[in-house]
Homo-oligomer: A and B are copies of this chain.
């Protein structure tokens, strides 16, 4: 089995749904950084059979709403001195600010820079959000 030893200081995104790892790696633009990063895909998981993991050897800010939107199974482990000092479970955000744009081409948020797109969750199952401006429903896809 492939395993990665602990990191000294940084962030571990654990329990990523198998197959989502590379998409998250790309979204976080981890191929552009200059510190060590590791992507593990299809490693065995007690709970889920298989999972993906991302290890980041640096303390960076990660938008938990963004992660929750992509994959609400993720656990974020914060590592200091080889130990987990904090563990955060992400969840599907009830409100979204600026992560995606409104699908309605006539919505003011798509042509007026001062109208910043914000949304309210209306369906967890389908990841559907209602625009605060035009009330159009936008569903998020990774």
Chain A residues in the interface with B (C-beta under 8 A): 1-5, 7-8, 19, 21-22, 25, 30-31, 33-44, 55, 57
Contact = CB atoms under 8 A, between A and B. Distances in A.
B31 A36 contact: no
A38 B2 contact: yes
A36 B43 contact: yes
Contacts of A57: 1-2
A21 to B, nearest CB: 8
Contacts of A43: 36
Contacts of A35: 42
Given A31-B19, A40-B38, A5 B2 contact: yes
A1 B35 CA distance: 10
B3 A5 contact: yes
Contacts of A33: 41-42
Shortest beta-carbon contacts, A-B, top 5: A22-B31, A39-B39, A2-B36, A36-B42, A3-B5
27 contacts: A1-B7, A1-B8, A1-B36, A2-B4, A2-B38, A2-B55, A2-B57, A3-B5, A4-B4, A4-B5, A19-B31, A21-B31, A22-B25, A22-B31, A25-B39, A30-B41, A31-B41, A33-B42, A34-B42, A35-B42, A36-B42, A36-B44, A37-B40, A37-B41, A37-B42, A38-B40, A38-B41
